[in-house]
Amino acid sequence: MSEDFNSAKFLNKQLKARGLQKLRFYCQVCNKQCRDQNGFKSHVKSPSHLKNISTVTQDDILEFTKLFEENFLNTLKTNHGEKKIAVNKLYNEIIKDRDHIHMNATSFKSLTGFIKYLSKEGKIKVYDDNIGDMPEDQVDLTQLNISFIDNSDTNLRRKEKLQEIEAEELTESKLEEYLRTKRQLREQEEEESDVQDTDLGSNTDIQRDNLTNLKIQLKKTKIKQNKVKKPLNKNKNNVFG
């Protein structure tokens, strides 16, 4: 008896099939997604799967591994450039595509092992120095951050150009600082020279004033002496006149 296409059971199956299923229940060789563990066990025992798996070679696994790595790095580069991002968040972006190459078809047993491999090859930067010493099952991928390392010739030339520009700006900045410092020192010397000249002029004026005052005092003293002598002469004339 055929299944009713309008029944709730059929529609429920269709909705489940449209959504993302668990990755470990996907068969890359047969391109088949199973909904649960029982379905996956039944599939791997099916004649069609056994026939397909018998034709898989080591080269096929290497090809799947290559495609998975290319997709991972391309997503990292395209979506985030060389910015830091959590591994778990990036992986969720990748698996949104239902047609992506699944990890269980590659030579890697875990995402942590794959991240260690990329870091060792210098293709990504891992922001955790202890990841190499930690067991793979103890690495928290939600807290582990990575970034893409762009080693392309175009990017290397761009970085070299930026370094040259920064070096030129630094040289110009140092030159401007040197000239500014030299100008400030020259202005300071001129101010100190003006102060010295003012002090010297003030001292000269004081000495001149002192000399004038001294002359005036001497003149007054001389006049007083003359006034004192004149009465004495007048009295003398009166006595013997």
At residue 13, the pLDDT reads 53
User: In the chain, pLDDT over 90 holds for what percent of residues?
Assistant: 27
Average pLDDT over residues 103-111: 89
Span 58-75, pLDDT tens digits: 999 999 999 999 999 999
Alpha carbons 141 and 91: distance in angstroms, whole number: 10
At residue 241, the pLDDT reads 44
φ, ψ at 54 (rounded to 5°) = -70, -20
Helix 87-95 and helix 111-120, axial crossing angle in degrees, nearest 10:
110
Span 75-94, pLDDT tens digits: 999 999 899 999 999 999 99
Helix 58-80 and helix 87-95, axial crossing angle in degrees, nearest 10:
110
20 vs 56, more confident: 56
At residue 84, the pLDDT reads 93
- 235: CB partners within 8 A, 6+ apart: none
CB–CB of 68/141 below 8 Å? Answer: no
- 151: CB partners within 8 A, 6+ apart: 122, 123
